[in-house]
Amino acid sequence: QTATSFYEAVGGEQTFHRIIAAFYREVANDEVLRPLYPEEDLGPAERRLRMFLEQYWGGPRTYSDERGHPRLRMRHMPFKVGPIERDAWLRAMYIAVSEIEPEVLDNEHRKQLLDYFEMAANSLMNSPF
Ligand code: HEM
C-alpha cells in the first residue's frame, strides 16, 4: 500500500518552491505587506514559510527541526493582521498559486490548497480593523 502525500501529489519541492518564491515576489511589491516584514532581506522569511508549508502538506519536517512548534498565532502577534493585511496576503498567495499549471496542480488539490490558505489567514487575524 502506498500513501501519497499532498506534497508529493502536487510535485513536491519544486512546486512549493515556485509558489512561495512567487508569493514573496508579490510581497516585495505590495505596499500593505512589505512594511510588515522586519528584515530587508525577504529570503529568510521565504524559507520559513516554505518549510512550514512543505511540512504541513506531508513533506520534509525541516521546519519543526529548526523552529520547533509552529505557534503561528503567537508568531504573528508582533504584526497587525487585520482584514486589509489578510486580504493582501491572500491576494499575493492566489496570484502565486495561479502560476502553477493545471497539469501540476489539478482542480481538486488547488481547491484544497486555497481553502486552507483562506482558513489559515482568517485564523491568524489579530485585529478587527
Ligand atoms: C511569518 C505576516 C498569514 C505562516 C510572518 C511574518 C510576517 C507575517 C510579517 C514575519 C516574517 C519572518 O518570518 O521573518 C503575515 C500576514 C498574514 C500572514 C500579514 C495575513 C493573514 C500567514 C499564513 C500562514 C503564515 C496564512 C500559513 C499558512 C507564517 C510562517 C512564518 C510567518 C510559517 C514564520 C514563523 C517562524 O518564525 O517560524 N508572517 N502572515 N502566515 N508566517 Fe505569516
- The pLDDT of residue 1 is above 70: no
Tell me what the pLDDT averaged over the chain comes to: 97
Instruction: Determine the pLDDT at residue 2.
Output: 66
Cα 22 to chain centroid distance, Å, stands at 10
Domain locations along the chain: 6-123
Provide the H-helix boundaries in the chain: 6-9, 12-28, 43-56, 62-67, 72-76, 83-98, 107-123
Q: What is the pLDDT of residues 47-88, one digit of tens each?
A: 999 999 999 999 999 999 999 999 999 999 999 999 999 999
On the 0-12 / 13-18 / 19+ scale of CB atoms within 10 A, 10 is: buried
CA of 28 to the centre of ligand 1 (A): 14
The predicted model gives 10-24 an average pLDDT of 98
Which CATH number is 6-123's, of 1.10.3660.10, 3.40.50.920, 1.10.490.10, 3.30.300.30? 1.10.490.10
Cα 48 to chain centroid distance, Å, stands at 9
**Which atom of ligand 1 has the smallest separation from the CA of 70?**
38
Task: Name the nearest CA neighbour of 28 among 44, 12, 40, 17.
Answer: 40
* Residue list, ligand 1 pocket, CB within 6 Å: 36-37, 39, 45, 48-49, 52, 67, 72, 75-76, 79, 81, 85-86, 89, 117, 120-121, 124
- The pLDDT of residue 105 is above 90: yes
